[in-house]
């Protein structure tokens, strides 16, 4: 499920001012998209970071992301031999891009995957990007052609039925969610009505259970900068908005990240927000077919602070994993802090699953997770020096009992 690792709504006002100044100075600044993850907002460029992962089988996985130092897309395949980088072909004339999410629906033979993100025009504005993978080659497929658009997440029921979501930003600071549908040959824009009273809004995650039920999650911001959770529902023809569950007491400026819907009556999404007493808090919301309700809180280790959730996956109804990071420093604008974290849902309770902490002077984070069964999950993200922006791709493999961390290429 996609998650993106770029600009947040909370930071957009400051970032937009910086962007405008940069454009005036150089005429070629990179306007990045809104995202559900705050740790990377306003930070110096990082190196390799993986932001999406999908596994067609337990012996093959695909992960995507970006190298933020070179502003180029990143794609890697995993087999029992390890991770291997794969070149990503971009549209003609494009040099800078990022991939935010990837999904691989079941196909009769071979492999078919779709990755989405955005690339940058010479004017510095993002433009939605979609790529397809056939097991050996990435091929760009034209998505929304409107300047200022980006795609954060994608869900496919088959090789001929996909839905990608993201947002559209203007230099004036307004924006709205967007969606694109894939029919096996081309992407077509799907009209999304902007939420009422929202100055800026986007979808950060999407999951389709059937051709007539998809849930998209994200966030909105009003003119005063106050953030709120956003949930959209796609019935195959039109979009409507669903009422999110109330955030936990003391949590404000909330946003929703990854979402997973194993059935049309069973969805789970991860949420985050700021605490009135300082720091951040996370929560889980679940869809029962009629309403969204707040789930039981995650049982984190004693002393855990500032949790932030990004990825969400359910391999069956009542069996889910979420991941992100904990113990990060919300006030650190100089680089990565915190450590990767994950938790699982057994239908009754959310329980943290131990992730080996980084060594002294290091930081880790998870951006996405996918599971094929209770004993096979793969998470991806970043590992790097504490307090610095440089890093390398990180993956974690869950065997039903423990996470095994593996550096990506």
pLDDT digit string (tens) for the chain, length 409 residues: 333 443 333 333 323 223 222 223 322 222 222 334 433 333 344 589 999 999 999 999 999 999 988 999 999 999 999 999 999 999 988 989 999 999 999 999 899 999 999 998 777 788 999 999 999 999 998 887 788 999 999 999 999 999 999 999 988 888 999 999 999 999 999 999 999 889 999 999 999 999 999 999 999 999 888 999 999 999 999 999 999 999 999 999 999 999 999 999 999 999 999 999 899 999 999 999 999 999 999 999 999 999 999 999 999 999 999 999 999 988 776 578 999 999 999 999 999 999 999 989 999 999 999 999 999 999 999 999 988 878 899 999 999 999 999 999 8
DSSP 17: H
15 phi and psi, to 5 degrees? -65, -40
DSSP 23: H
Residue 24 CB neighbour total at 10 angstroms: 9
Q: Do residues 259 and 215 touch, judged by C-beta distance below 8 A?
A: yes
* The CATH homologous superfamily of the domain defined by 7-407: Fucose-specific lectin (2.120.10.70)
Three-state DSSP state, 317: coil
**Can you list the positions of beta strands (E) in 191-307?**
200-210, 213-221, 227-234, 239-242, 251-263, 266-275, 280-287, 292-294, 298-299
Sequence ranges of the domains in the chain: 7-407
DSSP sequence for 165-182: EEEEE-TTS-EEEEEEEE
Please name every residue paired with 37 in a beta bridge, in sequence order, or none if there are none.
Answer: none
Cα separation, 311 vs 269, in Å, equals: 9
Q: What is the pLDDT of residue 334?
A: 59
Cα separation, 266 vs 347, in Å, equals: 11
Greatest distance between any 2 Cα atoms in the chain: 55
Residue among 345, 312, 309, 302 at smallest CA distance from 325: 309
Helical residues (DSSP H) of 160-264, grouped into ranges:
none
Three-state DSSP state, 20: helix
- The Cα-based distances of 356 to 10, 273, 335 in angstroms read 30, 25, 20
């Amino acid at each position: 499920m996609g998650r993106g690792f770029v600009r947040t709504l909370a930071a957009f006002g400051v970032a937009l001012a910086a962007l405008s100044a940069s454009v005036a100075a150089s005429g070629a600044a990179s306007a990045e998209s809104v995202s559900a993850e705050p740790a990377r907002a306003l930070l110096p460029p990082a190196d390799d970071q993986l932001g999406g992962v999908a596994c067609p089988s337990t012996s093959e996985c695909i992960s995507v992301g970006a190298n933020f130092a070179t502003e180029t897309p990143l794609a890697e395949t995993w087999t029992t031999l390890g991770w291997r980088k794969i070149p990503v072909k971009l549209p003609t004339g494009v040099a800078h891009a990022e991939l935010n999410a990837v999904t691989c629906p079941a196909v009769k033979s071979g492999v078919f995957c779709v990755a989405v993100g955005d690339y940058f025009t010479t004017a510095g504005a993002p433009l939605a990007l979609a790529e397809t993978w056939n097991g050996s080659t990435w091929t760009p497929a034209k998505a929304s052609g409107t300047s200022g658009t980006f795609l954060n997440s994608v869900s496919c029921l088959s090789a001929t039925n996909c839905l990608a979501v993201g947002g559209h930003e203007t230099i004036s600071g307004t924006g709205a969610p967007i969606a694109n549908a894939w029919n096996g040959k081309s992407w077509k824009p799907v009209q999304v009505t902007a939420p009422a009273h929202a100055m800026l809004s986007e979808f950060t995650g999407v999951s389709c259970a059937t051709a007539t039920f998809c849930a998209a999650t994200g966030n909105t911001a009003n003119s005063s900068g106050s953030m709120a959770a956003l949930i959209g529902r796609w019935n195959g023809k039109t979009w409507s908005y669903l009422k999110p569950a109330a955030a936990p007491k003391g949590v404000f400026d909330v946003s929703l990240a990854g979402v997973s819907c194993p059935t049309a009556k069973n969805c789970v999404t991860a949420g985050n927000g700021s605490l009135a007493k300082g720091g951040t808090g996370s929560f889980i919301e679940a869809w029962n077919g009629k309403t969204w309700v707040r789930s039981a809180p995650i049982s984190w280790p004693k002393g855990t602070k500032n949790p932030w959730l990004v990825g969400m996956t359910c391999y069956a109804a009542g069996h889910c994993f979420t991941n992100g990071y904990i113990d990060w420093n919300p006030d650190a604008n100089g680089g990565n802090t915190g450590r990767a974290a994950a938790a699982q849902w057994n239908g009754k309770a959310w329980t943290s699953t131990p992730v080996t902490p980084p060594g002294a002077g290091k930081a880790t984070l998870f951006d996405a997770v996918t599971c094929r069964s209770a004993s096979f999950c793969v998470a991806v993200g970043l590992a790097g020096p504490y307090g610095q922006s440089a890093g390398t791709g990180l993956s974690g493999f869950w065997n039903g009992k423990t996470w095994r961390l593996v550096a990506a290429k």
